[in-house]
Amino acid sequence: MPVRVVESSAPSQVSGANSGKTSPPACTLLSVGQAFSGTQNVSSIQKDEAWRVNVRIQGCDLEHGYLCGTMEALNVPMADTPVVTFWEGEIVDTINYTFFTGKWEATPEDDKKHWDKFPSFSPFKGQVEFDGGKNLDLSNYPYIFMRWKEQYFVNVGTDCGLTIAGFYYVCFSCSDGSISGFYYDPNSSPFQKLELKSTNGERSGFSFSSYELQ
């Protein structure tokens, strides 16, 4: 995957100079084993063209701004089976990662356009435009911003008709566990929206088939 080199004034990772800040608080709704279910609109024009999506958190390390999990896409037109991918995420904590991506073909302008889609981002817009928000303290904010990058297909081959070249800009609500996101890939339909809700506390949750992650 092409990697874009960013200017030193807007790094995606910041050094220990911000050691006075702390990581986002531990949230039981964003922890290993938590499950979410919802949809992804695969077209920003046709709102009714959506896939059902299930997500499960497989790992979470707030101190290092890292999490990972699996994403299962159902009723995919090109596939005769649910498509499962493994993804890794970056938590925007301004300690390990800032709002500027600095890779995956995303420019600072792409970052600002996508983060601006989230109403909860509006208090930080000016600071992010200035320096990527690297001096913000997000430790007590009721929302957690992330990027999710799919790494590989778990149960199908790369000829399944789907691409994992892009990544998701994600906003997680600490109060109810809801997740909203927008997929970015310069070669795909823009602003594909991901909407998920926590299912762990419900009787009618979902379960994944058995897959071995390697």
Beta-carbon neighbour count of residue 185 at 10 Å? Answer: 17
131 contacts: CB under 8 Å, gap ≥ 6: 9, 10
Residue 74 pairs in a beta bridge with 52
One DSSP character per residue, 46-91 reads -TT-EEEEEEEEEEEEGGGTEEEEEEEEES-TT-SS-EEEEEEEEE
Rounded to whole angstroms, the Cα distance separating 193 from 181 reads 6
Tens of pLDDT, residue by residue over 113-153, are 999 999 999 999 999 988 878 889 998 899 999 999 999 99
In this prediction the pTM is: 0.81
Q: Which residue is listed with tokens 């301004």?
A: 94
CATH class of 28-198: mainly beta
Query: What confidence tier does 1 reach under pLDDT thresholds 50, 70, 90?
Result: very low
Task: Enter the DSSP assignment of 122.
Answer: G
Q: Is the pLDDT of residue 14 over 50?
A: no
Are the beta carbons of 1 and 158 closer than 8 angstroms?
no
Give 54-97 pLDDT, tens digit per residue: 999 999 999 999 999 999 999 877 778 899 999 999 999 999 99
Note the pLDDT of residue 102. Answer: 94
pLDDT at 7: 34
Residue with the two structure tokens 């499950």: 35
Residue 71 CA to chain centroid, in angstroms? 11
Query: Which comes out higher in pLDDT, residue 206 or 77?
Result: 77
Cα of 181 vs its chain's centroid, Å: 6
